[in-house]
Structure 1
Amino acid sequence: MTTSPDTSVETAPPALHPRRSAPDAGSDFARLSRRITEAGLLGRCPGYYTVRLGLVIGLLAAGWAAFVALGDSWWQLTVAVFMALIFGQIALVAHDLAHRQVFRRRRTSAIWGQLFGNLGIGMSYGWWMNKHTRHHANPNHEELDPDVAPDILVWSTEQARNSSGVARFIGGHQAFLFFPLLTLEGFNLRVGSVRALRSPFMKSRLLEGSLLFLHMTAYLSALFLVLSPGKAVAFLAVHQCLFGVYLGSTFAPNHKGMPTFTGDDRPDFLRRQVLTSRNVRGGRLTDLMLGGLNYQIEHHLFPSMPTPQLRRARVVVRAYCAEIGVPYHETGLIQSYREALVHLHRTGEPIRRQRKAS
């Protein structure tokens, strides 16, 4: 993973507050921003987040209570499934905290983010904040967005042609391997979190490292003290693999398969965010399971907008995009996965062609 040395854990990056960085008061984004502000959609939602954070903490406590009550039983695998969903919800709460949707103050958001991320699920808040900040600043830019860097998967035919190592080995069939690979995402988050402790951008290195160590010590101790070794390993595998699939499934529909940029090909802020993002249609259950990330266009335009405001903002943003002629892409959930997988299969074509030629 590449990191940016000038981004700190506690510094709110400009990408998280785009209204401040709009240089032209008459720009397309500035006009949209005024409409959103006049509609009152950037206001805080303390009641919503009080309930949401309380429910997540309560369900996490209930999950561990059920774990202790069941004892050394194979029924613990049902608890593992439940805990995978709760860990996913905690990650989504940490996401909102990073964008200061919950608390206005930067330091307060960081403290709560470290508690939910590092201590709650074993994911470094500072590492993820650095990575996600760069993604928001340049979504789907092949050189600037770490989420489309050619690591294990390739995201464009050019990346496929230049691929090597693991990316080249699996790139030709990456569409079929995408969801199986998500089972490793929970473990990948922990490896990335630990490796990031040596990075210069981690200002709260000691605190984050201590919380990560405390989480892993408590987690593994609980598993191997309550369960037999075989059941403990089974619980860990089911829990972490399903957590990875759930978390990956909430982010996969957002940008995968949408246009990518390279070099100096960077449109203005509004188009950069809208053209690279995909919304997912659905009701309240979709909102709950995807944590509001199904309104990806609105989220990228106004990252600090509280989650419950995104549904109302969608109406304003969609109408405005139609007004100025900017494509606004929205699909159902299954179609969003289909588009992402078709894109992955298409970008792997150069690798398949080269293998046939050889």
Structure 2
Amino acid sequence: GTAKIVENMELGHNVMHGQWDWMNDPEIHSSSWEWDIAGVSAHWKQTHNYIHHKYTNVLGMDDDVGYGLLRVTRDQRWQPWSVGNPVYNLLLQLFFEYGVALQHLELGKVTQGGIDRVELVRRGREVLAKVGKQIAKDYVVYPVLTGPAFPLTFTANLTANMIRNVWTNMVIFCGHFPDGAEKFTTADLEDETRGQWYLRQMLGSANFEAGPVMAFMSGNLCYQIEHHLFPDLPSNRLHEISVRVRALCEKYDLPYTSGSLPVQYLKSWRTIAKLALPNQFLRATADDAPETA
């Protein structure tokens, strides 16, 4: 489980952001890295590096706002199936790598005709090939190689993958959904300047407190605010720059959202649980809800 977390968070995520491309090492380069999860690296670089980081927390633009499954802001219209928010989140945690794999298919847009069928089939084949490869490696080949220990190896690999999935989900959600992490609408993008883009990254992200070990295990995404400001900055420099970012926030009276990991995680769950209900059952509005800064 630890090995898979390190490969996913500190290596895969940061390498594919291009943080180490300056070394010109072909084995540690964003163009060649394929990580040890069900999601296709090329797909993730499009949905995450480009769409998520450009349109951070913009409803209707950034699929990471609820992953097409969760209601995480009052600006999202409540639907009857939203009552299952906590259940969906639990399932997404346990099988997060498959959620990442499906994200680029944009299944929510298929029924609306927003995706060309030929393109959908092409993406689908790439997803099935990667998922098949991962399942064969973790649940067939490696267990077979251990002979009589097949059941133990199978369950150990399943447990390790779920440990990685839950941890990855926790780190990402603590960076985007606790109280203070703003959500935006497309109206907020009108005439957005470069400076306002940086401001939106700060307002839409949240940190959690971590020492050196926790920072390493989270891929340094305990500094999510700094990562969103400078996504291709090498992860080991985020702590250093966080001091300057915090000072700027204090100087200009801007919120710098941070807290302990358990608190940030529980706040994320609280928001997800609350928004399973229609707005008329909630006290606050989208403008003064606890989850807004």
**1:123 maps to which of 32, 39, 42:** 39
SS at match of 2:187: coil
What CA distance in whole angstroms lies between the structure 2 residues aligned with 1:95 and 1:202?
26
SS at match of 1:316: helix
What CA distance in whole angstroms lies between the structure 1 residues aligned with 2:97 and 2:124?
21
% identity of equivalent residues: 20
Match of 2:165 in 1: 244
Cα deviation code 1:295-315 (max 9, x no counterpart):
111111111111111111011
Task: Please tell me the residue identity of whatever aligns with 1:101.
Answer: Q
Displacement of 1:239: 2.5
Q: Is the CA contact 1:126–1:202 (under 8 Å) kept in the aligned structure 2?
A: no
Match of 1:259 in 2: 182
Bigger fraction of residues in helix:
1
Match of 1:170 in 2: 84
SS at match of 1:143: coil
Q: How does 1:25-174 map onto structure 2 within 5 Å?
A: 84-92=1-9, 93-104=11-22, 108=26, 109-114=29-34, 117=35, 120-132=36-48, 133-149=50-66, 151-161=68-78, 163=79, 167-171=81-85, 174=86
Task: Provide the alpha-carbon RMSD of the alignment.
Answer: 3.5
What CA distance in whole angstroms lies between the structure 2 residues aligned with 1:110 and 1:211?
18
Greater Rg by CA: 1
Task: Please tell me the residue identity of whatever aligns with 1:127.
Answer: H
**2:207 maps to which of 265, 274, 279:** 279
Task: Please tell me the residue identity of whatever aligns with 1:138.
Answer: Y
Cα deviation code 1:82-102 (max 9, x no counterpart):
xx2211211121111122111
SS at match of 1:331: coil
Give the structure-1-normalised TM-score: 0.62
What CA distance in whole angstroms lies between the structure 2 residues aligned with 1:192 and 1:230?
31
**Which runs of 5 or more residues in structure 2 are unaligned?**
108-116, 283-293
Q: CA distance change for structure 1 residues 250 and 316 in 2, over 3 Å: closer, same or farther? A: same
Q: Is the CA contact 1:154–1:347 (under 8 Å) kept in the aligned structure 2?
A: yes
Q: CA distance change for structure 1 residues 203 and 287 in 2, over 3 Å: closer, same or farther? A: farther
Q: Is the CA contact 2:143–2:151 (under 8 Å) kept in the aligned structure 1?
A: no
Q: Is the CA contact 1:271–1:326 (under 8 Å) kept in the aligned structure 2?
A: no
Q: Is the CA contact 1:157–1:347 (under 8 Å) kept in the aligned structure 2?
A: yes
Q: Is the CA contact 2:14–2:219 (under 8 Å) kept in the aligned structure 1?
A: no
What CA distance in whole angstroms lies between the structure 2 residues aligned with 1:312 and 1:263?
33
What CA distance in whole angstroms lies between the structure 2 residues aligned with 1:205 and 1:152?
19
Task: Please tell me the residue identity of whatever aligns with 1:348.
Answer: A
Displacement of 1:293: 0.4
Displacement of 1:318: 0.9
Match of 2:221 in 1: 293
Displacement of 1:113: 1.7
Is 1:217 the equivalent of 2:121? no
Task: Please tell me the residue identity of whatever aligns with 1:182.
Answer: Q
**Which runs of 5 or more residues in structure 1 are unaligned?**
1-83
